[in-house]
Amino acid sequence: MRNHFNGLKTVALFAALGAVFLLFGWAIAAYFGNYWIIVIAGVLSLGSIAYSYWNSDKVALRSMKAMPVTESQSPVMFAIVRELSQKAGQPMPRLFISPALSPNAFATGRNPENAAVCCTEGILRILDDRELRGVLGHELMHVYNRDILTGSMAAAVASVITSVGQLFYFFSIFAGGNRDRGGGNPLVAIAMVILAPIAAALVQMAIGRTREYDADEDGAKLTGDPLALASALRKLEQGTQQAPLPPRQDLVNSSHLMITNPFRRGPGLRRLFASHPPIAERITRLEGMAGRQLG
């Protein structure tokens, strides 16, 4: 396994998210004329990170209504994950299946000893065993590279920023701020409600795209079959467009964990904020790996 500096990426990610949170707190404090709100924002930030650390797997699995499965229920999935985890010399994660017909898979959990890998019913229907092995190799490398915690916690912190922004907007309308102390500018409220979630999304996007490329490469090395993952990605791109997940907020918050974007492709601006790199580019990289192996 190659060192992708995920520890440094984690520190950079949460430094950036923490800065967004504190800037948000400062704007709210200035609006209401009470700078204790900055302290409250800091406490909320630390609390959300601590909660995410211990519950990152539960949040994602709950959003997909995933249930644990036994080896008798899914023998192929168990056989593949057992083989690949033993090959990597790493613990085998818990396995789950989501009833969603949208084809996808994801890994979650704070470390390899407390990780879970989930496949949807949709992905199990459209992939053959070789392609499924390529997908599971990708997900296992998210676990073994220890980068799934980064994505899980980033989603939780971004969700808190969005929720606080909505509360801020609500109270700015009905409480009116502290106008005697210079607060109460509705443009500040509107700007922060819009800009804070966008800033959080940009930080998530930058880390998320790098993580997907790394997991593609390392997963292909683990399976020894980059073309299997490339073939799976082709099917998944078509399948997720035919059967996308509904854009509920809990699913949006967990979508960056999935191997492909589970929602319908949006216009150019939405693609700019996508946490997943383009499928075509991922396939090209995997095909290049296969060519180098043959050479």
Q: Please compute the mean of the pLDDT values over residues 162-173 and round it to a whole number.
A: 65
Q: Which residue has the tokens 């502290």?
A: 178
Which tokens is 232 given? Answer: 């799976």
pLDDT score recorded for residue 82? 97
| pLDDT value, residue 181 | 45
Q: What is the 3-state secondary structure (H, E, C) of the chain?
A: CCCCCHHHHHHHHHHHHHHHHHHHHHHHHHHHCCCHHHHHHHHHHHHHHHHHHHHHHHHHHHHCCCEECCCCCCHHHHHHHHHHHHHHCCCCCEEEEECCCCCCEEEECCCHHHCEEEEEHHHHHHCCHHHHHHHHHHHHHHHHCCCHHHHHHHHHHHHHHHHHHHHHHHHHHHCCCCHHHCCCCHHHHHHHHHHHHHHHHHHHHHHHHHHHHHHHHHHHHHHCCHHHHHHHHHHHHHHHHHCCCCCCHHHHHHHHHECCCCCCCCCHHHHHCCCCCCHHHHHHHHHHHHHHHHC
Q: What is the pLDDT of residue 269?
A: 47
Average pLDDT over residues 68-73: 95
**Global pTM value:** 0.77
Residue 179: pLDDT band (50, 70, 90) is: very low
The widest CA-to-CA distance across the chain, in whole angstroms, is 73
Q: Is the pLDDT of residue 264 over 50?
A: yes
CA angle, 25 then 250 then 198, to 5°: 40
Specify whether the CB–CB gap between 217 and 289 falls below 8 A: yes
**∠ Cα 43 48 49 (to 5°):** 100
**Which positions are catalytic?**
139
CA angle 98, 101, 106 (to 5 degrees): 45
State pLDDT tens for residues 198-245.
766 666 676 677 789 989 999 999 999 999 999 999 999 999 999 999
Q: What is the pLDDT of residue 102?
A: 96
pLDDT at 70: 94
Q: 10-29 burial string, b = 16+ CB within 10 Å, else e?
A: beebbebbbebbebbbebbb
pLDDT higher than 70, residue 265: yes
